Structure 1
Amino acid sequence: MSVPRAGPRVLVQYVVLRGDLSRAPLSWPLGALVAQACHAATAALHVYRAHPDTAAYLGDLGSMRKVVLEIPDEAALKALATHLQQESVDHTLWLEQPENTPTCLALRPYPKDEVNSHLRKLKLLK
């Protein structure tokens, strides 16, 4: 009897964006929000470019998967960043300049099951 082989590992890059940036009183335009997510995702890929999962993720551009999640505000984003750091989850917190404002964070690519427990309370960005 043969043992079924596991398929290729599915890698996902999670991006977590502050939801309050789009609402009053901040009311950032959509393009600015998209730029924050792009900055964070690109920075995480660059910082962790030597990790085998990042290399595998970038090696198959047509199969990239990203999940963009929403977090309520700056305090919650900072708390998540601290939690991820304590749990040794590789990520990059994006700080918009020149204000030094935390806007978004992105994890390096991970298998979903390795990081779900840290992100399961967050919803998809709407």
Structure 2
Amino acid sequence: MAAPRRLVQYIVVRGDLQRVLAWPLGALVAQACHAATAAIHLHYSHEDTQQYLQGLESMHKVVLEAPDEASLLALAEILKQASVDHKIWIEQPENIATCIALRPYPKEEVHRHLKKFKLLK
């Protein structure tokens, strides 16, 4: 029997929310949680999502940083064009894009779209 594929859920958060707009760290974490949960919910029935959820104790997430809203929205367009399942989180009532979460994917299928983003610090 083949080993299950290693799945990862990528989350890309706007770094300028904290650095420029002075959002507290907790607010940034909440945005990532909202987006990750929404992406899982929207793609719950996908085989990769189900496999990811079966490994509850070994889930793998990578949180990356987009410099600003423009770069986040550009990424959303790239993902859309490449048919990569994702959720862009729009925070209300501000109505601003704060982060993107992909559904769980094998790293090799999506990493090329995300490699220009660094880990969130």
Q: TM-score, normalised by structure 2?
A: 0.97
Aligned with residue 18 of structure 1, among 10, 14, 38: 14
Q: Displacement of 1:59 after TM fit?
A: 1.1
Does residue 23 of structure 2 align to residue 28 of structure 1?
yes
The CA distance in 2 between the partners of 1:6 and 1:100, in whole Å, is 45
The CA distance in 1 between the partners of 2:115 and 2:19, in whole Å, is 23
Matched letter for residue 60 of structure 2: R
Equivalent positions of 1:89-108 (< 5 A) are: 89-108=84-103
Percent sequence identity is: 69
The CA distance in 2 between the partners of 1:100 and 1:6, in whole Å, is 45
Q: Displacement of 1:7 after TM fit?
A: 2.5
Alpha-carbon RMSD across the aligned residues, in angstroms, is 0.9
Matched with 2:55 is 60
4+ runs deviating over 3 angstroms:
none
Matched letter for residue 9 of structure 2: Q
**Superposed CA offset, 1:6-49 (max 9, x none):** 4320000000000101113x010000000000000000000000
**Unmatched 5+ stretches in structure 2:** none
Matched letter for residue 71 of structure 2: A
Does residue 109 of structure 2 align to residue 114 of structure 1?
yes
**Superposed CA offset, 1:40-99 (max 9, x none):** 000000000010000110111001000000010000000100110010000000000012
Q: TM-score, normalised by structure 1?
A: 0.93
The CA distance in 2 between the partners of 1:60 and 1:113, in whole Å, is 19
Which protein shows a greater Rg? 1
SS in 1 for 2:99: strand
**Unmatched 5+ stretches in structure 1:** none
The CA distance in 2 between the partners of 1:30 and 1:116, in whole Å, is 26
